[in-house]
Amino acid sequence: MPDDLIARLPKSELHLHIEGTLEPEMMFEMAARNAVEIPYNSVEELRAAYSFANLQEFLDLYYQGMNVLLHEQDFYELTLAYFQRARNDNVRHAEIFFDPQAHTNRGVPFATVINGITRGQQEAAAQLGVTSKLILCFLRDLSADAAMATFEEALVYRNQFVGIGLDSAELGHPPSKFADVFAQAKNEGFLLVAHAGEEGPSAYVREAIDVLGVHRIDHGNRSLDDPELVSDLAASGIALTVCPLSNHKLGVVDDLPSHPLAEMLERGLLVTVNSDDPAYFGGYVNANYRALRDALVLDDVTLVELARNSFRASFLTEEEKARHLAEVDTLAAAEGIRPVARSAAS
Ligand code: ADE
Ligand code: ZN
């Protein structure tokens, strides 16, 4: 259904792991040219393995898959391929994650990774008109010292990323474990985000805000377990970058009709829709909007609100946000869709 309102809406994507866009076809192509063995005989067999009972089962395949990424050109092609798909979904701006430790720990230099991604971002801006920012994520199941060492190594490339985040296996690895590196990054002027409340409890969301001082929460589903936290999130305007197909594939929700996005909106949260690891979860950003629209019976006003939120919650300047929001509003007006102000207007 390429010509629905969702396709026409300009949008930004704020929760996207670039390594999670490695499609099986590209994985096989890179495996062949880099002489890396992958333990599957075909694209079909690999895709059939994408069935996960929880986050860890996904992470095991995700880290295995990225073994084919060895050279700067691989990271460049991966990045550009994502932006081509994003452009097809009318994504105007993306704030993308990368996991440097997953590469440096297997001998791929930091420079190879970040320079390939940066080149892909530059090409996407020049050729496709999609702007982007890069966020460096620490693997929270590794040590705090390893995160600090990675951050120090990354400082040489400080102009190539705008913020830091926290991802990988959540349970047992609370945000407070990374208080020092987040404090240092804040001092250095970086923006801060963290995955929290995906599999972990609402207390991890609270810690990410109070201890790390994050500007956005990635996922945040479990926030709804704590009414006071929900009020604080709503009052502060800290956004949640929600990923519906990911939540379904990883068992964070039983099924899409029980996804909490509608409740999040009703409770005044600044919620956005994103694809997380689309090559593994069965759809890029528009597929995520459509799955939610169908499961939760979202009306056009709500879809427009979600597109607006994607810009409001971004790290763009106020002027850039205003320009994108005006475009969304022009489309909505042309289609006779009147936005409703749910919480604070903007
Ligand atoms: N790394 C890639 N995708 C992730 C997710 N959904 N949660 C935690 N870590 C991740
Ligand atoms: Zn994620």
Average pLDDT, 10 consecutive residues per value, the chain (346 residues): 86 99 98 97 97 97 98 99 98 99 98 99 98 99 98 98 98 98 98 98 98 98 98 98 98 98 98 98 98 98 98 98 98 89 53
| Contact 19 CB / ligand 1 (< 6 Å) | no
pLDDT at 319: 98
Q: Rounded to the nearest whole angstrom, what is the distance from the C-alpha of residue 313 to the centroid of ligand 2?
A: 16
Domain with 115 in it: what CATH number?
Answer: 3.20.20.140
Indicate which ligand has the atom closest to the C-alpha of 99: 1
pLDDT at 346: 46
CA distances from 119 to 75, 82, 122, 255, 280 (A): 9, 13, 5, 38, 24
pLDDT at 341: 63
Who's near 179: CB < 8 A, 6+ residues apart? 211, 212
Using left for φ > 0, alpha for ψ between -120 and 50, and beta otherwise, residue 51 falls in beta
Query: Nearest C-alpha to atom 9 of ligand 1 is from which residue?
Result: 168
CA 313 to the chain's CA centroid: 12
CA distances from 331 to 92, 125, 189, 327, 339 (A): 14, 23, 36, 6, 11
Within-domain flag for 71:
yes
pLDDT at 239: 98
- Taking the CA atoms of residue 125, residue 96, residue 104 and residue 277 in that order, the dihedral angle to the nearest 10 degrees is -120
Domain count, the chain: 1
pLDDT at 338: 85
Substitution candidate for ligand 1 out of 198, 217, 249, 280 with most atoms within 8 A of CB: 198
| Contact 321 CB / ligand 1 (< 6 Å) | no
Within-domain flag for 340:
no
Within-domain flag for 159:
yes
Within-domain flag for 346:
no
Question: pTM for this one?
Answer: 0.97
Q: Rounded to the nearest whole angstrom, what is the distance from the C-alpha of residue 17 to the centroid of ligand 1?
A: 8
Domain extent at residue 272: 5-334
Residues belonging to the active site = 198
Within-domain flag for 339:
no
Q: Rounded to the nearest whole angstrom, what is the distance from the C-alpha of residue 326 to the centroid of ligand 1?
A: 32
DSSP 8-state secondary structure symbol assigned to residue 278? H
Within-domain flag for 30:
yes
Within-domain flag for 342:
no
pLDDT at 1: 52
Would you call 189 helix, strand, or coil by DSSP?
A: coil
Substitution candidate for ligand 1 out of 13, 21, 62 with most atoms within 8 A of CB: 62
| Contact 246 CB / ligand 1 (< 6 Å) | yes
Q: Rounded to the nearest whole angstrom, what is the distance from the C-alpha of residue 338 to the centroid of ligand 2?
A: 32
Indicate which ligand has the atom closest to the C-alpha of 102: 1
Terminal-to-terminal C-alpha distance of the chain:
31
Within-domain flag for 146:
yes
